[in-house]
């Protein structure tokens, strides 16, 4: 069973639909006992980082997440919350991945737009999360902030500057892109996560 953490940050529908398509069993919950006993945990997230962080705190989920020992996957804001700090709302986050989250700078001359929206490549892939995924595969991004490159980066992408498009440390994983919206590549990444 995969527990999708519900902390009231927007729509979880697309994550659920993607898990339906690949035939995975899941539940949407904020129940600590259910989260702790799940085989896998997904931390999704849309919206703004500091308010998302407040919602995790309100539900008393910060330490619960940090202490999980099964594979955990943060998606988009979910992954950003697992970093040290985010510039968005200047907020301290869970501190699982030792890197900070910074805003992109738009650069019209070089075609760099903010938000970074659309399909971009993931490179320097190094994790079982990317089993059977080609180097340079395209995935779907929608975000204005991104984690800095660090040793825990398991994929790199570029939008004006290079950033960590996926991170891993121990049992914790995160993707800045949306595997649930990234076509067949995204579905393969979700399957890989389930098989970890």
Q: Are 86 and 50 in contact (CB under 8 A)?
A: yes
Kindly state whether residue 90 participates in binding other proteins, applying the rule CB under 8 A. no
Kindly state whether residue 13 participates in binding other proteins, applying the rule CB under 8 A. yes
Q: Report, in Å, the least distance between residue 119 CB and other proteins.
A: 4
Q: Are 178 and 166 in contact (CB under 8 A)?
A: no
> From the list 95, 115, 128, 170, which residue makes contact with other proteins (rule: CB under 8 A)?
115
Q: Retrieve residue 126's tokens.
A: 């190094």
Q: Closer CB to other proteins, residue 97 or residue 186?
A: 186
Q: Closer CB to other proteins, residue 40 or residue 116?
A: 116
Give bridge partners of residue 173 from the DSSP assignment.
73, 168
85 is catalytic: no
Q: Are 73 and 193 in contact (CB under 8 A)?
A: yes
Of the chain, the end-to-end C-alpha distance in Å amounts to 13
- Active-site option among 76, 83, 93, 152: 76
> From the list 25, 57, 183, 195, which residue makes contact with other proteins (rule: CB under 8 A)?
183
Size of the site for other proteins (CB under 8 A): 35
Q: Closer CB to other proteins, residue 20 or residue 92?
A: 20
Kindly state whether residue 119 participates in binding other proteins, applying the rule CB under 8 A. yes
Kindly state whether residue 46 participates in binding other proteins, applying the rule CB under 8 A. yes
Kindly state whether residue 50 participates in binding other proteins, applying the rule CB under 8 A. no
Alpha carbon separation from 72 to 2, 80, 82, 112 (Å, rounded): 10, 13, 10, 32
Kindly state whether residue 89 participates in binding other proteins, applying the rule CB under 8 A. no
Alpha carbon separation from 132 to 90, 188, 190 (Å, rounded): 37, 8, 12
Measured CA to CA, the distance from residue 5 to residue 151 in angstroms comes to 27
- Element of type H or E holding 53: helix 49-58
180 is catalytic: yes
Kindly state whether residue 23 participates in binding other proteins, applying the rule CB under 8 A. no
Angle formed by the axes of helices 183-194 and 13-21, nearest 10°: 80
Q: Closer CB to other proteins, residue 73 or residue 190?
A: 190
* Residues in contact with other proteins by the rule CB under 8 A: 10-11, 13-14, 17-18, 20-21, 46-47, 106, 108, 111-120, 138, 140-142, 158-159, 180-184, 186-187
The residues carrying an active-site annotation are 76, 178, 180
């Amino acid at each position: 069973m995969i527990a999708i953490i519900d902390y009231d940050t927007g729509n979880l529908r697309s994550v659920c639909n993607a898990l339906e398509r690949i035939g995975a069993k899941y539940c949407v919950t904020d129940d600590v006992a259910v989260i702790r006993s799940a085989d896998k945990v997904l931390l999704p997230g849309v919206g703004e980082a500091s308010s998302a962080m407040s919602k995790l705190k309100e539900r008393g989920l910060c330490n619960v997440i940090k202490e999980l020992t099964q594979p955990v996957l943060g998606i988009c804001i979910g992954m950003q919350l697992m970093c040290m700090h985010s510039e968005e709302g200047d907020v301290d986050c869970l501190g699982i991945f030792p890197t900070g989250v910074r805003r992109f700078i738009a650069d019209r001359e070089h075609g760099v737009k903010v938000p970074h929206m659309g399909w971009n490549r993931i490179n320097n892939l190094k994790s079982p999360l990317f089993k059977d995924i080609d180097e340079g595969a395209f995935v779907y991004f929608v975000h204005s902030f991104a984690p800095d490159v660090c040793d825990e980066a398991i994929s790199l992408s570029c939008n004006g500057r290079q950033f960590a498009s996926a991170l891993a440390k121990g049992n914790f994983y995160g993707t800045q892109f949306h595997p649930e919206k990234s076509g067949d590549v995204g579905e393969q990444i979700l399957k890989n996560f389930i098989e970890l």
